[in-house]
Amino acid sequence: MRQIKGIILLTIVLTAVWLLLTGSFAAEELIVGGFVLALSLILFRRYYELFGGLRFSLKALALLPAYLILFVWELIKSNIDVASRVLRPSLPINPGIVKVKTDLKSDVGKLVLANSITLTPGTLTIDVDDDFLYIHWIDVKDSSPEAAQTRISRRFEGLLKEIVE
């Protein structure tokens, strides 16, 4: 089941990318695209499981834009944060690596979460290990895994849990 979901999802994404890239619906382009699609699907057999972790439901589809808006907002905030740190002459940093617990189970969920954390204010994912993320934090406030989870990843996890398994 997860395999089939992965194949469907990859087909949709790759078709969209191909159409954006060529920007035409001419017959020749579509035929070549079909060949490239088949080749990619054969080459990336190993990763069907990974993409199968995404949920197929109306609710997930509806929450995707909400997640994107949250993500862009956090990205803008983090940039203002970094800019203010870099431009201040005293360079206020208090760095450290903390361990953060995550409730997400699927690999694709952890991937999206790790990427989101890297782009939010003051945090950078270093490694993922089963249920824990190792995060470099530019201004450490709390070093226990649970407290750090509340401060760093809670706002993403709530939404992500609805989108991935």
Partner 1 sequence: MELLGHILILIGSIFSLLGAFGILRMPDIYNRLQAGTKATTLGALSLILGVGLANPAFLGKSILLILFIVLTNPISSSTIARSGRRADIPMLKNAVVDAYAEKVGKTQAAADKKRSNRADADDPQTAVKEANV
Please give the Cα distance from 55 to 36 (Å, whole number): 26
For the bound state, the minimum distance from the C-beta of residue 67 to partner 1, rounded and expressed in Å, comes to 13
For the bound state, the minimum distance from the C-beta of residue 72 to partner 1, rounded and expressed in Å, comes to 8
91 binding partner 1? (CB under 8 A): yes
For the bound state, the minimum distance from the C-beta of residue 99 to partner 1, rounded and expressed in Å, comes to 4
Answer for which of 2, 55, 101, 136 binds partner 1 (CB under 8 A) is 136
Q: Looking at 76-121, which runs of residues are DSSP E strands? A: 96-101
If the CB atoms of residues 41 and 111 are measured against partner 1, the closer one turns out to be 111
Please give the Cα distance from 111 to 115 (Å, whole number): 6
Stretch that binds partner 1, among 3-11, 33-41, 59-67, 93-101 (CB under 8 A): 93-101
If the CB atoms of residues 3 and 94 are measured against partner 1, the closer one turns out to be 94
If the CB atoms of residues 1 and 20 are measured against partner 1, the closer one turns out to be 20
Please give the Cα distance from 15 to 40 (Å, whole number): 11
* Counts for the chain of helices (H) and strands (E), in that order: 7, 3
Q: Which amino acid is at 68?
A: L
Q: Which amino acid is at 138?
A: I
If the CB atoms of residues 7 and 124 are measured against partner 1, the closer one turns out to be 124
150 binding partner 1? (CB under 8 A): no
125 binding partner 1? (CB under 8 A): yes
β-pairing, 123-129 with 132-137? antiparallel
Answer for which of 7, 101, 134, 159 binds partner 1 (CB under 8 A) is 134
Please give the Cα distance from 142 to 140 (Å, whole number): 6
